[in-house]
Chains A and B, each alone.
Chain A
Amino acid sequence: MRTRRWLPYALLIPGILWLAIFFIAPMFNLGATSLYDPNGSLDTGYRMTFHVANYGDALSQYYPQFLRSFSYAGIATISALIIAYPLAYAIAFKSGRWKNFLLVLVIAPFFTSFLVRTLAWTAILGDNSTFVHFLHTIHLLGPQGRILATPVAVITGLTYNFLPFMTLPLYASLEKIDPRLIEASSDLYASAFTGFRKVTVPLSLPGVVAGTLLTFIPASGDYINATLLGQGARTSMIGNVIDSAFLVRLAYPLAAALSFMLMAAIVGIVIFYIRRAGTEELV
Chain B
Amino acid sequence: MAQAESVGGDLQLVHLTKMFATFTAVDDLNLVIPKGSFFALLGPSGCGKTTTLRMVAGLEEPTSGQIMIGEKDISFERPYRRPVNTVFQSYALFPHLDIFENVAFGLRRRKVKEVKSQVEAILSLVELDGFARRMPAQLSGGQQQRVALARALINKPEVLLLDEPLGALDLKLRRQMQIELKRIQVEVGITFVHVTHDQEEAMTMADTIAVMNGGKVEQMGSPTELYENPRTTFVANFLGQSNLISGKVFERSDDLGVELYGNRIRVPRSRTSSNSDSLWVGVRPEKINITLADRPIPAANVIPGVVTDASYIGVSTQYLVKTAWSEELMVFEQNLLNSGARPGDSVNLSWDPAHTFALDANQDVDAGVEVPEADS
Contact = CB atoms under 8 A, between A and B. Distances in A.
Q: Do A and B contact each other directly (Cβ–Cβ < 8 Å)?
A: yes
Residue from B2, B106, B109, B155 whose CB has the most chain A CB atoms within 10 Å: B109
A180 B92 contact: yes
Contact of B94 (A189, A199, A205): A199
Interface stretch (B80-88, B214-222, B347-355): B80-88
B105 interface: yes
B95 interface: yes
B86 A190 contact: no
Contact of A188 (B2, B59, B78, B106): B106
A130 interface: no
Residue from A178, A180, A187, A203 whose CB has the most chain B CB atoms within 10 Å: A187
A145 interface: no
Contacts of B96: 199, 202-203, 205
Contact of B59 (A181, A186, A190): A186
B57 interface: yes
B44 interface: no
Contacts of A178: 90, 92
Interface string B139-160: 0000000000001100100000
A183 interface: yes
Q: Which 3 A-B pairs have the closest CB atoms?
A: A189-B109, A184-B92, A188-B106
Contact of B57 (A187, A189, A205): A187
Interface size class of A (residues with CB under 8 A): 10 to 19
Given A194-B109, A203-B95, A188 B90 contact: no
A185 interface: yes
A203 B57 CA distance: 24
A190 B109 contact: yes
Contacts of B90: 178, 180
B110 interface: yes
Contacts of B59: 183, 186-187
A187 B109 contact: no
A187 B95 contact: no
B368 interface: no
A47 B58 CA distance: 76
A191 B106 CA distance: 11
Residue from A180, A189, A191, A205 whose CB has the most chain B CB atoms within 10 Å: A189
A188 B155 contact: yes
B88 A189 contact: no
A189 B92 contact: no
Contacts of A203: 95-96
Contacts of B93: 184
A143 B190 CA distance: 70
Contacts of A183: 59, 79, 88, 92
Interface of A: 178, 180-181, 183-191, 194, 198-199, 202-203, 205
B155 A181 contact: no
17 contacts: A180-B90, A181-B94, A181-B95, A183-B59, A184-B86, A184-B88, A185-B105, A187-B58, A187-B79, A187-B86, A188-B80, A189-B2, A189-B106, A189-B109, A190-B105, A194-B109, A199-B96
Interface in B290-331: none
Contact of B155 (A186, A189, A199): A189
B94 A187 contact: no
Contacts of A190: 80, 105, 109
A206 to B, nearest CB: 10
A188 B85 contact: yes
Contacts of B106: 188-189
B88 A188 contact: no
A191 B80 contact: yes
Contacts of B152: 187-188
A40 to B, nearest CB: 55
B94 A184 contact: yes
Nearest to B2: A189
B92 A186 contact: no
Given A180-B88, A180-B90, A194-B109, A186 B80 contact: yes
Interface string B1-37: 0100000000000000000000000000000000000
A189 B109 CA distance: 6
A188 B151 contact: yes
B57 A188 contact: no
Interface in B48-101: 57-59, 78-80, 84-86, 88, 90, 92-96
Residue from A178, A183, A184, A203 whose CB has the most chain B CB atoms within 10 Å: A184
B268 to A, nearest CB: 46
Residue from A181, A188, A190, A191 whose CB has the most chain B CB atoms within 10 Å: A188
Interface in B150-193: 151-152, 155
Contacts of B95: 181, 203
A82 to B, nearest CB: 22
Contacts of A194: 109
Residue from B78, B90, B92, B106 whose CB has the most chain A CB atoms within 10 Å: B92
A203 B93 CA distance: 12
A148 to B, nearest CB: 44
